[in-house]
Amino acid sequence: MVDLEAAIGFVVAHGDAVDRARLSRLRSGTPVPPAVLDAAESGQAPGGGWPAVLGGDVASVDATCFRLAELDDLGALGRPAARHALDWLAAGQLADGGWDEHRSLAGFAPEWATPGDPEARFYLTAGAGFWLTVAGLDARAAGPLDHRVGGAYAGVVQAAAHTLAAQLAPDGSWPSFLPAGWLAAAVLHRQRMYHESARIQAVLADRIPEMSPADVAWLAATLRRVEVGEEQWLLVSARRRLAGTQRSDGGWDSDDGHQFDVHTTLRAIRACRPTEPEVAASGAPFVAPRAAALPEPPSRRRAPEPPPAPPAPAAPPAPAASLAQPAPAVPDPAAPPALLPAPAAPPNRLPAASPAPVVVPAPVVVPAPAVVPVGTPGPAPAPNPLRVA
């Protein structure tokens, strides 16, 4: 079981003002001070996106998605800065329904954001489509309603979902980096393309044991954000993996260095927190959810003891009274049901769109200029590469 209290203590001890504000809102929905929101929104480019580096002039799809993730935790997707960024993303959609980075970023963009690269385009399309999906869920008053998404971006997300689904292999694998899988699954789920989303989730479930804690936290937080059921096998496996990789200080390791451990831990809290946030109250402690008790294996489960036999009646003295027969064993209605078996393991490969093997994003660290840490403008940290044969 994940120790949420220890995770919260880690963020409080090691996070900055923005990190602590994100934590407070995740726990209880506490409104964030305007000064913290202003700091989280700083550095936005005039066009609406955020640049990949401090002081940059060219906005980045990847960096903008990272900043939207931070603003989402702060409850700020409805503020003007986030709406401007979402409009910028929507306007940047290509004719085929995907996204790509500006060609001027080719000299220093990481591999998962390389302009013109098909694998990077799939990843960026899944990321941009995900945040436009989330914006539709949270801001339905922004435009015409749509039963799939809602908000002004319904048509944009629908086009993104179809271009993602068209690139899936029959076994559910995708020609891109590993995180593109859970982002795409979330987009497809909200578009009611459940079969396509489930195929991706089956591949991801097979990968859980070899994923880093940062990847697992990102996966689970992403799927929970679009209301994938907590009882789904993929999310159950993700929570078990997080429970087994939590450190003694309450945090989790980032793939991008210890300076991003707080960011990873906040994602894990989002992934494992109760469905409903706590009610804000002065001095109210955070109560971690109880883990459901697992049933014993069938061979070890015992039937209820039969009731004791009543004594023989004292009269009449003859004939001798017979003992009452014990009641038949009745199954205990309180006993938990047996666990459902895990789904069949999918093929252990992700075919690429080209002869090159599929790769997983390296740490989201832009080579030059320096990456900006969480809470300041900069690109999103991404998991270490996990190449699949």
Per-residue pLDDT of the chain (389 residues; tens, 9 = 90+): 899 999 999 999 999 998 999 999 988 888 999 999 999 999 999 999 999 887 788 999 999 999 999 999 999 998 999 999 999 999 999 999 999 999 999 888 899 999 999 999 999 999 999 999 998 776 444 444 444 445 678 899 999 999 999 999 999 999 999 999 999 999 999 999 999 999 999 999 999 999 999 999 999 999 999 999 988 999 999 999 999 999 999 999 999 899 999 999 999 999 998 865 443 333 333 333 333 333 333 333 333 344 445 554 444 433 333 333 334 344 444 444 443 333 343 333 343 333 344 444 444 443 444 333 333 344 444 544 443 43
Q: How far apart are CA 386 and CA 203, in angstroms?
A: 14
Nearest residue to 3 via CA among 305, 251, 367: 251
Domains and CATH numbers, the chain: 4-272 (1.50.10.20)
Type of residue numbered 131:
W
Cross-strand bridge partners of residue 50: 60
Q: How far apart are CA 18 and CA 14, in angstroms?
A: 11
Rounded to the nearest angstrom, the gap between the alpha carbon of residue 309 and the centroid of all alpha carbons in its chain is 57
Which residue reads 């900055």 in tokens?
16
